[in-house]
Amino acid sequence: MEPNKKLEWTALEYEEKERGNDWFWALGVIIVASSVASFIYGNFFFGLFLIVGGILLTIFAIKKPDLVFYELNERGLKIRNRLFPYGNIKSFWVKKEGEKPTLFIKSERLFMPIISMPINQNQTEEIKTIMLSNNVPEEEMKEHVSEKIMESLGF
């Protein structure tokens, strides 16, 4: 990579889903029925947990996604204000096929080590070149099954 060369892009934090009133009604019915059943069976803590979880799901469903800033520079990959140095990135994968190109990196984090981020179609080769020139190995990665399940449920 040339000195002082940076590749920058922005993308939404997550893909915004349009949810109708039916989705919120279904969530409410499921939460109320489940928590009432928990109270009937004497499991008050689980009932309260379901209510709090339902409220949080509603809040996150209404929240608009933030615009996230990404930067590949001479030091590493910067996501918002957090830098992942090239030495701490175990591997990467650029998924080009499909409607949304995605960059996956495997970091040294213990919890959720694989991070996925949307990229522009015209940046896929440049990102791949930059990562390989900084000795980051390429390894095929896919979205986690839980992400696909959550996407199919409308999250």
**pLDDT digits over 98-152, tens only?**
778 889 999 887 787 888 888 888 888 898 988 998 889 999 887 777 777 777 6
Which residues share a beta bridge with 84? 77
In a shared domain, residues 52 and 80: no
Q: Distance between CA atoms of 60 and 93, rounded to whole angstroms?
A: 29
Strand-pairing partners, residue 115, are 105
Most confident of 3-12, 26-35, 72-81: 26-35
**Amino acid (1-letter code) at residue 78:** K
The predicted model scores a pTM of 0.71
The C-alpha atoms of residue 16 and residue 134 are separated, in whole angstroms, by: 33
Q: Quick one: which H or E segment has residue 40?
A: helix 21-40
CATH number, position 138: 2.30.29.30
What is the C-alpha separation between 59 and 43, in angstroms, rounded? 25
137 shares a domain with 74: yes
When divided into structural domains, the chain yields a total of 2
Q: Do both 80 and 123 map to the same domain?
A: yes
Looking at the structure, tell me whether residues 97 and 52 fall in a common domain: no
Residue 53 lies in domain: 21-62
